């Protein structure tokens, strides 16, 4: 009994190696728990190195995986689950009872040493149950890592796009201001009607409001990214690139996406582990429904003037009122609840894959339409209007209006390009955190 009770010990890595392996395989990134001041200093050095240059999407994901405090708190779930596993593999402490009774000149001493037989018999099965739960927690924590990576990647593209939109919003505002100023001067000398002047003024007012909204959106998107990265103080002054990555030449074509997601997604694997664990728990509950308390004890009694008495004591709970039916019914209900949640997770995963891929293709087609049609046509129109202005065929106001339309088209392309990169991150998340290796491209 002593040997069996002392064999359950904590592992060297606390279950974290499995999380690190999944992260490396699916994201190509490093994760590290902060367990000492040396770990914190090493992570700070890595983060400062990444922040020394304009961030890429991959750099942002790496910083978040190292520095996000919520993720670090999630790692504690591994320690809690392993502690439960170790506790389940150890015998309950024995109980020692001592009685000392004095009656006149006589003294009676009773000593009892009791062990739980139910705990001893069910120890292997309870350990297997907690082992299954520990494996489910590993998958759950790994899935938290993948979800944080996806959220960070999306927030990165949103922040870059918002920053880029501010630049073009300022250009629109500058053109509107020039038109309003010129219109005011012409109105003062009588060469411009009140209606035409008001049109330029209201456009300038709208452009100013649009610039304020763009700047506010840029701050919101940047702060969202900052929170995910876990940065504060001087670290919040990180640099982002001036523009989004270019649209790829061809879209990705995923083969058997639904089947890939079912086999690859960690939330489905976690639900499977939890269901298997509950099935084992149901078997344990059924086994112990009648015998819940069974203790065996060694007795040694000493009575003054009488020989020493020894023996044993057996304590058994009698199922007179509670036959364990309620415990079994509860366990069965929890198990069926888990089965249906597993089915729901699988159904939702299939739907999310279809939705994310259609969204990805639509976002790609729209961004390509802006890139190949709208933006080039707007540039051609702008070039033609510039020639006409130089030939004194159109007014400066028409030239300014055309410049504003061109900037708005470019801003539309920025939003479409941002939507594409966000849609690609959603697709990778729906497929289990990464895009499959056997991707093909098509026109």
pLDDT in tens, 70-103: 999 888 888 888 887 787 777 777 777 777 777 6
Query: What pLDDT sits at residue 365?
Result: 93
Q: Are 165 and 216 in contact (CB under 8 A)?
A: no
Domains in the chain: how many in total? 1
Which structural domain range is residue 349 located in? 246-289+325-443
The three-class DSSP label of residue 106 is strand
Query: What pLDDT sits at residue 206?
Result: 83
Q: Are 203 and 179 in contact (CB under 8 A)?
A: yes
Q: Report if residue 263 sits inside a domain.
A: yes
Q: What are phi and psi of 235, to 5 degrees?
A: -65, -20
Name the token pair of 9.
């010990």
Q: Report if residue 255 sits inside a domain.
A: yes
Q: Report if residue 402 sits inside a domain.
A: yes
Q: At 96, which helix (H) or strand (E)?
A: strand 95-103
Query: What pLDDT sits at residue 368?
Result: 92
End-to-end, the C-alpha distance of the chain in Å comes to 69
| Among candidate residues 255, 225, 227, the one with its CA nearest the CA of residue 240 | 225
Report the percentage of the chain scoring pLDDT > 90. Answer: 25
Report the percentage of the chain scoring pLDDT > 70. Answer: 76
pTM of this structure: 0.80
Read off the DSSP letter of residue 205: H
Name the token pair of 52.
């020394």
| Among candidate residues 402, 395, 403, 390, the one with its CA nearest the CA of residue 196 | 395
Name the token pair of 434.
């990464």
Q: Report if residue 385 sits inside a domain.
A: yes
Q: Report if residue 14 sits inside a domain.
A: no
Q: Report if residue 274 sits inside a domain.
A: yes
Q: Report if residue 223 sits inside a domain.
A: no
- Per-residue pLDDT of the chain in tens (443 residues, 90 and over written 9): 445 555 567 677 777 888 889 888 888 898 998 888 888 999 999 999 999 999 999 999 999 999 999 999 888 888 888 887 787 777 777 777 777 777 666 677 777 777 766 666 667 767 777 787 888 888 889 999 999 999 999 999 999 999 999 988 888 888 778 777 877 777 777 776 777 777 778 878 888 898 899 999 999 999 999 999 999 998 999 999 999 999 998 888 877 888 888 888 888 888 888 888 777 777 656 655 444 545 555 556 666 666 776 665 655 555 555 455 666 777 778 778 888 888 888 888 889 899 999 999 999 999 999 888 887 877 776 766 666 656 666 666 666 666 667 677 788 888 999 999 999 999 998 988 877 765 544 44
Cβ neighbours of residue 21 closer than 8 Å, sequence gap 6 or more = none
d(CA 132, CA 367): 46
Q: At 108, which helix (H) or strand (E)?
A: strand 106-116
Cβ neighbours of residue 166 closer than 8 Å, sequence gap 6 or more = 211, 214, 215, 218
Q: State the DSSP string of 236-300.
A: GG----SSPPPPPSS-EE-SSHHHHHHHH-HHHHHHHHHHHHHHHHHHHHHHTSS-S-EEEEEEE
We report the CATH number of the domain holding residue 250 as 1.20.1600.10
Q: Report if residue 399 sits inside a domain.
A: yes
Q: What are phi and psi of 254, to 5 degrees?
A: -95, 125
Give the CA count within 13 Å in the CB-facing half-sphere of 46.
19
Cβ neighbours of residue 76 closer than 8 Å, sequence gap 6 or more = none
- Give the CA radius of gyration of the chain: 35
Using the structure block, give the residue that is written with the tokens 């008001």: 198
Read off the DSSP letter of residue 55: P
117-124 contacts: CB < 8 A, separation 24 or more? Answer: 117/294, 117/295, 117/296, 118/288, 118/291, 118/292, 118/293, 118/294, 119/91, 119/92, 120/1, 120/4, 120/91, 122/284, 122/287, 122/288, 123/4, 123/88, 123/89, 123/91
d(CA 156, CA 54): 12
Tally Cβ neighbours within 10 Å of residue 368.
19
Query: What pLDDT sits at residue 362?
Result: 93
Q: State the DSSP string of 371-412.
A: IIIIHHHHHHHHHHHHHHHHTTSS-HHHHHHHHHHHHHHHHH
């Amino acid at each position: 009994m002593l040997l069996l009770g002392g064999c359950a010990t904590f592992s060297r890595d606390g279950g974290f190696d499995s999380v690190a392996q999944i992260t490396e395989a699916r994201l190509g990134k490093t994760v590290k728990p902060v367990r000492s001041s040396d770990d914190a200093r090493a992570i700070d050095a890595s983060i400062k190195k990444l922040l020394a240059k304009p961030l890429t999407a991959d750099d942002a994901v790496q910083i978040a995986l190292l520095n996000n405090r919520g993720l670090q708190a999630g790692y504690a779930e591994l320690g809690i689950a392993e502690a439960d596993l170790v506790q389940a593999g150890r015998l309950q402490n024995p109980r020692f009872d001592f009685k000392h009774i004095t009656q006149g000149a006589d003294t009676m001493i009773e000593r009892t040493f009791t062990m739980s037989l139910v705990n001893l018999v069910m120890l292997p099965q309870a350990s297997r149950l907690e082992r299954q739960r520990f494996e489910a927690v590993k998958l759950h924590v790994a899935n938290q890592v993948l979800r944080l990576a996806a959220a960070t990647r999306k927030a990165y593209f949103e922040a870059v796009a918002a920053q880029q939109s501010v630049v073009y919003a300022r250009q629109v505002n500058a053109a509107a201001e020039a038109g309003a100023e010129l219109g005011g001067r012409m109105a003062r000398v009588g060469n411009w009607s009140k209606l035409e002047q008001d049109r330029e003024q209201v456009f300038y007012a709208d452009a100013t409001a649009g610039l304020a909204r763009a700047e506010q959106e840029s701050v919101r998107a940047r702060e969202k990214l900052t929170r995910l990265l876990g940065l504060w103080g001087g670290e919040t002054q990180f640099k982002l690139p001036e523009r989004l990555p270019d649209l790829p030449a061809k879209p990705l074509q995923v083969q058997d996406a639904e089947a890939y997601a079912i086999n690859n997604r960690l939330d489905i694997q976690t639900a499977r582990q939890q269901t298997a664990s509950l099935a084992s728990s149901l078997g344990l509950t059924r086994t112990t429904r009648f015998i819940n308390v069974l203790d065996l004890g060694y007795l040694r009694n000493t009575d003054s003037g009488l020989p020493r008495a020894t023996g044993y004591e057996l304590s058994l709970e009698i199922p007179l009122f509670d036959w364990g039916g309620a415990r079994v019914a509860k366990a069965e209900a929890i198990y069926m609840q888990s089965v249906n949640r597993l089915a729901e997770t699988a159904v939702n995963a299939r739907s999310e894959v279809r939705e994310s891929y259609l969204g990805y293709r639509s976002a790609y087609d729209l961004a390509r339409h802006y890139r190949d049609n709208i933006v080039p046509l707007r540039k051609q129109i702008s070039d033609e209007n510039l020639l006409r202005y130089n030939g004194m065929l159109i007014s400066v106001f028409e030239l300014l209006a055309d410049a504003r339309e061109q900037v708005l088209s470019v801003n539309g392309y920025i939003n479409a390009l941002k939507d594409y990169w966000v849609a690609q991150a959603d697709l990778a998340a729906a497929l289990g955190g990464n895009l499959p290796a056997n991707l093909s491209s098509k026109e």
